[in-house]
Amino acid sequence: MPGMLNEDDLFGLSKGLKSLVTFACSHMTRSYKAVVLAALMQLVDDSARASVDALAHQFHGFYLNREMLGQPVERRPFALDPPSGNSMADVLTLLWRYPLERFRRAGHVMRVGGHVLSLLPASLWQDIGMEERMQVWNCCQRALRRYYERLVK
């Protein structure tokens, strides 16, 4: 689905962040990558690392919240349908199989130990401030809003 982002969404972001946001939020056939990136903006530390367990809780929470509010959860078939019927092990399996594998293949993350991700390049994350994190998070939210608007049409 093209058109989830426009140039105004990316204004002011560094080249590396633009690339990452474009990867996660353009041509969305599922919401997974945008949900993961939005969560990572809240979870990644100054050393560019994030707990996969914490990421799984936020990822699952996003879909649980949509289910609870009676909103469309995801395009069908959805591996976690319904979100309330899945364990954290199910969520972790989905995360590793789909969005995190795509982030890894694109060179945006690598696994460090069993349950820690390192975002790449680390130098990108050492200088990113809270304002830039919020801008990336907001880009993800706008892309998700547009995705779900198109999903219900």
Q: What is the pLDDT of residue 16?
A: 86
The count of other CB atoms within 10 Å of the CB of residue 121 is 12
Please state, for a pLDDT cut of 70, what percent of the chain lies above it.
97
Kindly state whether residue 37 falls inside one of the protein's structural domains.
yes
- Segment 30-72, tens digit of pLDDT: 999 999 999 999 999 888 899 999 999 999 999 999 999 999 9
**Residues whose CB falls within 8 Å of the CB of residue 75, separated by 6 or more in sequence, listed in order:** 29, 30, 151
Flag whether 91 is in a domain.
Answer: yes
**Residues 94-113: what's their mean pLDDT?**
92
Domain assignment present for 63: yes
Residue 43 is assigned to a structural domain of this protein: yes
pLDDT range class, residue 3, cuts 50, 70, 90 = low
- Please list, in sequence order, all residues whose beta carbon lies within 8 angstroms of the beta carbon of residue 86, skipping any fewer than 6 positions away: 60, 80
74 within 8 A of 99, measured Cβ to Cβ: no
* pLDDT band for position 1 (cuts 50, 70, 90): very low
What confidence score (pLDDT) does residue 101 get? 94
At 71, is the secondary structure helix, strand, or coil? Answer: coil
Work out whether strand 109-111 and strand 116-119 pair parallel, antiparallel, or are unpaired. Answer: antiparallel
Residue 29 within any structural domain of the chain: yes
Residue 27 has a pLDDT of 84
Asked if residue 1 belongs to a domain, the reply is no
If one counts the domains in the chain, the total is 1
- On the 0-12 / 13-18 / 19+ scale of CB atoms within 10 A, 24 is buried
Helices marked H in the chain: 7-10, 15-25, 32-43, 52-68, 88-97, 99-105, 122-126, 130-152
pTM of the model: 0.92
Residue 2 lies in a domain: no
d(CA 90, CA 79): 9
In a domain, 130, yes or no: yes
pLDDT given for residue 8 in this prediction = 78
- Write out pLDDT tens, residues 105-142: 999 999 888 788 998 888 888 778 889 999 999 999 99
User: Containing domain of residue 138, as a range?
Assistant: 7-152
